[in-house]
Structure 1
């Protein structure tokens, strides 16, 4: 689920940069917690496989499910944090150096055009 330029623009306009950035970090770290819980489930599935007399198919299903969820969560964690970092590196006004005080001007296919609330200088944040 990657964000298009207009989705980034909508989120920045609705929430503001600081809240958007906070939410990206929280969502990313929630996915990291899910990946760790999936690792515990994976280890539990392997342990149950060693103790079980029958029904190994269900144990393999548990291994596959927890590994799949863990892989997806870890990938999503990386995507969310890399996007948050990419946008945050562009959130400093090139004119006055103010960080994160943005006003959204318009959506672009490659990101969002923003202006600084301190000096009104405009630039493009690429997604």
Structure 2
């Protein structure tokens, strides 16, 4: 049976680790990016932004990027959300990816949901 000393308990109390939610916000609309940044900040998270899917892919190319969550807009210039998500999955990016859109076309939503969490 293992025992714990008072010193061990004090060490544990003094080393309180809090992991902040790390989010990549991908949207071509500056207002939407800022809105999402403010929401993430309000819950104590940290965020990085990309203006389109190509920027999101490039952020991950070197293999050093790691996000808990990616908020991915559907329609953007250079590389849209679906194409960027497919590429990120091919690159073995395991972050949860949530598709963000204001469109309500059921067929497009179904295709968009295919690769998102």
TM-score scaled by length of structure 1? 0.23
TM-score scaled by length of structure 2? 0.25
The structure number with the bigger radius of gyration is 1
Structure number having the greater helix percentage: 1
Greater relative contact order, per chain length (Cα 8 Å cut-off, separation 6+): 1
